[in-house]
Amino acid sequence: MDATSSSADKLASKTASSNSLDSSSKSSSLGSKHGTENGQQRDTPFSYLDGEEDQDQKNDVTYVCPYRGPAFGALTITNYRLYFRSLPLRDQEPPVVVDVPLGVIARVEKIGGATSRGENSYGIEIFCKDMRNLRFAHKQQNHSRRTVFEKLQANAFPLSYSGKLFAFAHAAAAAQPSTANAAVNAGWDGWAVYEPLAELRRLGVPNDMWRVTKINEFYAICDSYPAVWAVPKAASDDFLRRVAQFRSRCRLPVLSWMNPRTQATITRCSQPLVGVSGKRNADDETYLSYIMEANAQSDKLTIMDARPSANAIANKAKGGGYESEDAYKNVEINFLDIHNIHVMRESLRKVKEACYPTTDDSKWQTAIDSTLWLKHIRCVLAGAVRIVDKVETMSTSVVVHCSDGWDRTAQLTALSMLLLDPHYRTVRGFEVLIEKEWLSFGHKFQQRIGHGDNKHSDADRSPVFLQFIDSVWQVSQQFSNAFEFNEHFLITIVDHLYSCRFGTFLCNTEAERVAEDLKHKTTSLWTHINSSLDQYLNPLFPSFTHGAELVLRPIASVRAVRLWKGLYCRWNPGLCTPQHGCQRTRELLSKQDLLFKHVNELRLKLNNRSNNMQTTTRLASPMH
């Protein structure tokens, strides 16, 4: 592969990949062509994306696979991926293929030095965000490690080297005729999936008790909130400005969801700034009463504080805290015992240790239990179920917050809305849910994931959104026919959470995305998904019966919550589970349709034959 091929030549031969992040040999496109040499096209090992350019290639690298042992082959680095393909030692032996988007890389380290003598002891180790580590051995004499290390650093962490994320180059190249443009032209523009006013109208807002305000249109009131809010009609814009001053980061309560039948609502916010002295704010107290009074079905308001009570009390020392039931009339407060981002980060680290690269069968369950990951997932599920019970069963409005209202709060509001509203259990509805509760309300994706920066020890990194997707998967396992989408859909979202191929999860806030003009300078993940929906659909969904199960109430117990092996264990061949369930189900349902069709045809023939016999009998009768 000639790394110096012209950009024009490369662009002409690129094809957009429809795969998520498939790293198995079957995902490689061996027949694809890339670049030219003396007018002749050459074979390349994979399909290049729009905007993808070669950065380096080494033909004498050994991938130290923890399962199959060392594999000698060629390593290619582009501005989007690291790709390794082994040279099979025997005929018919499948090659070892590693295909990793550079956005998945958390850190790169050199192993061994000039004095290293052991086999494969000199090279590079790559630590990934998707539960795997990769080790490549280099030969010391040709100094190949140095350029590979430098290219990985520059392209995996472009923001630390004054560069730009791949999503921008990908979209710029796709300005040429491509599958991405074809998708947009066909009406699959992912940036148009969520329109705030349309979603509010679907919920019945505005109405007699709630109104829409664009007070934050230029993000001056709260820079981490969206431009459009739904608020109680009794609250004027000037009043909202005063209320915002008493909430952490100015994140005052605004509407997330409304039950169109009972008018019970879910609103979200951050903690009140009560501090150690227990400060009160008449405007904030009045505002919560407006939220309560907007629901005629109840004279109570429930506050769901996501934190353990001890953490909420400790926040008073930092100027935060929680609502006092003495100060806020007709309000009850519940603490949901969901721990902070640092606890969750450590828990996921332990899951990785348990799943990759090796496991001890005799201690497997103990190892997973000791991570506390499933306990944390259970707490998120249990909190959402409590919100659902208050809103649906008790017809009581609920206010949800944690400390700043952009991590645990998003988990709880989004998950409870998913349980309450079947619209969010469709593909488009789920995309709207993520756009609304996670992206527009300022979950700090840039900081939590660390897109394009090399600060792998940053204390702001945490798998908060991953926990939400895991929780959705847990619910889908209990209600297998309630979701239009399948497991592959959820895994694709997680994969591209890290990949930096699309603009959807870039930046921390809506204000930053507007300033970066992501809608015009990057492609949406939803464009990619919605242009090839078939592979993401659940074949059991059409059989879902509504009525009693319109609202889902999953079992949030240790017995029901289990490790998502299809995600966390997929790189470990001893633990990964086959991913062919949906395909097999789709095949069986197709056969069922054919059988039903055949039965109907036989019934029609039988009816016709019966009618013909009756006619013949009447004609032969002596009475005629």
Catalytic residues: 402
Count the Cβ atoms, other than its own, within 10 Å of residue 328.
Answer: 22
Is-contact 36 68, C-beta < 8 A? no
The token duo for 272 is 């009140």
Does 402 appear as a known binding residue? yes
For 101, the 3-state DSSP assignment is strand
Phi, psi of 259 (to 5 degrees): -75, 115
Q: Say how far apart CA 525 and CA 493 lie, in whole Å.
A: 8
Region class of 502: left (phi > 0), else alpha (psi between -120 and 50), else beta = beta
- Is 404 annotated in a binding site? The answer is yes
Cis peptide leading into residue 206 (ω within 30°): yes
Report the C-alpha gap between 276 and 340 in whole angstroms.
21
What is the helix, strand, coil percentage profile of the chain, to 5? 45, 15, 40
On whether 310 is known to bind a ligand per the annotation, the reply is no
Q: How far is it, in rounded angstroms, from Cα 570 to Cα 367?
A: 18
Residue 553 annotated as lining a ligand binding site: no
Instruction: Give Dmax over CA atoms of the chain in angstroms.
Output: 113
Q: How far apart are CA 418 and CA 438, in angstroms?
A: 13
The 8-class DSSP code of residue 548 comes to G
406 is in an annotated binding site: yes
CB atoms within 10 A of CB 383: 26
* DSSP letters spanning 267-319: EE---B--TTTT---HHHHHHHHHHHHT-TT-S-EEEEE-S-HHHHHHGGGGT
Smallest CA-to-CA distance from 345 within 255, 460, 240, 256 is with 460
Which residue type occupies 73?
Answer: G
Q: Establish whether 221 is an annotated binding residue.
A: no
List, in sequence order, the alpha helices (H) in 315-440.
Answer: 341-355, 364-371, 373-388, 408-420, 427-433
Q: Is 341 a known ligand-binding residue?
A: yes
Would you say 458 is a known binding-site residue? Answer: no
Contact, 459 vs 427, CB < 8 A? no
CA nearest neighbour of 525 among 81, 188, 130, 99 = 188
Distance CA 206, CA 200 (A): 7
Q: Is 283 annotated as contributing to ligand binding?
A: no
| Binding annotation for substrate | 315-318, 340-341, 402-408
| Binding annotation | 315-318, 340-341, 402-408
